[in-house]
Every structure is written in structure tokens, then in C-alpha cells.
């Protein structure tokens, strides 16, 4: 017996009407996960946030989950605190140093607790609590759009 279900498509998925709220950057695990290892990835996530803001002008805050193997943390970028991306000529100039304060910020949500280390491991109970807090934050951000 074959059941024919009507095929329904969405011309413009809702997630693309406004833009992304969450980016995820996953890197290979390091032998000993330290918070300093995350800071090296923040330069890349800063660039990704800049591109997302340039592509989606209605989005003001973008969350970023950064994972190094089973260790992960969450940060947010706020359009109002992020300088424009350096130009190609600035990047090709060997004397250029991007000195803008583009460090991602902790969210204004006290429910996201990464403890003293600044990150959690997937197999720990604190990871589930942090992931739930990020999920609630995403709901809050999407409701404000």
C-alpha cells in the first residue's frame, strides 16, 4: 500500500527572513583544553559575525558556540560593539594590526554558567544546563526580532 502525501515546500524558509542567530565553530580537540585555546578561535568567529551582520542588517546580536572537541563555550557578538571588517589592503599591509576591541561578550543571561574555566565538557551535567540556557537565549533573541 502506497500513501501519497502532498509535497509542501516553503519558498523562503523563515530562518532566512531575518538572519542567523547562532553560529557554531567546531575545531579539533586539543590534548588539554584550556580557555586560552578558545581565544585563538575568537578571531575567526569575529570575522564570521562581521559577515553575518553585513548580510543581515536586521540582526543585532549573534550567538556563537565555539567547540574544541568535547569542550565548548558560548559568546555573543553585538553589532553595535563590533568594528567593520578590515579592508583587503589593510590585511595585505604587513604593518597593519587590527587593534579594534572585537572581543565577544558574555551574554546578559545569568543562567549561562561556564564556571571558572569558561567552558564545559559535553559529558558533564553542567554542559546540559549551559546548552539549555543557550536554547532559552535563542528563543529570547528570536522573539525580539
pLDDT in tens, 99-119: 655 555 554 444 577 777 888
Q: Describe the strand order of the beta sheet including 22-27 as a list of residue ranges.
A: 22-27, 61-68, 71-78, 120-121
Q: What is the mean pLDDT of the chain?
A: 77
pLDDT above 70 coverage of the chain, percent: 73
| Tens digit of each residue's pLDDT (9 = 90 or more) over 2-47 | 555 555 555 555 545 567 789 999 999 877 888 888 888 888 898 8
> What is the CA 21 to chain-centroid distance, rounded?
8
Give this prediction's pTM.
0.74
Amino acid at each position: 500500500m502506497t500513501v501519497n502525501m502532498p509535497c509542501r515546500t516553503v519558498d523562503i524558509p523563515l530562518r532566512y527572513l531575518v538572519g542567523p542567530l547562532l553560529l557554531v565553530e567546531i575545531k579539533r580537540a586539543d590534548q588539554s583544553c584550556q580557555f586560552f585555546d578558545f581565544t585563538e578561535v575568537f578571531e575567526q568567529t569575529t570575522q564570521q559575525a562581521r559577515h553575518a551582520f553585513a548580510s543581515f542588517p536586521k540582526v543585532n546580536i549573534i550567538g556563537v558556540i565555539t567547540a574544541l572537541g568535547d569542550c565548548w563555550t558560548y559568546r555573543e557578538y553585538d553589532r553595535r560593539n563590533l568594528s567593520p571588517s578590515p579592508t583587503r589592503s589593510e590585511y595585505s599591509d604587513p604593518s597593519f594590526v587590527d587593534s579594534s576591541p572585537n572581543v565577544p561578550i558574555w551574554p546578559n543571561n545569568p543562567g549561562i554558567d561556564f564556571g571558572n574555566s569558561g567552558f564545559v565538557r559535553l559529558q558533564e551535567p553542567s554542559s546540559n544546563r549551559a546548552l539549555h540556557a543557550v536554547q532559552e537565549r535563542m528563543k529570547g533573541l528570536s522573539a525580539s526580532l
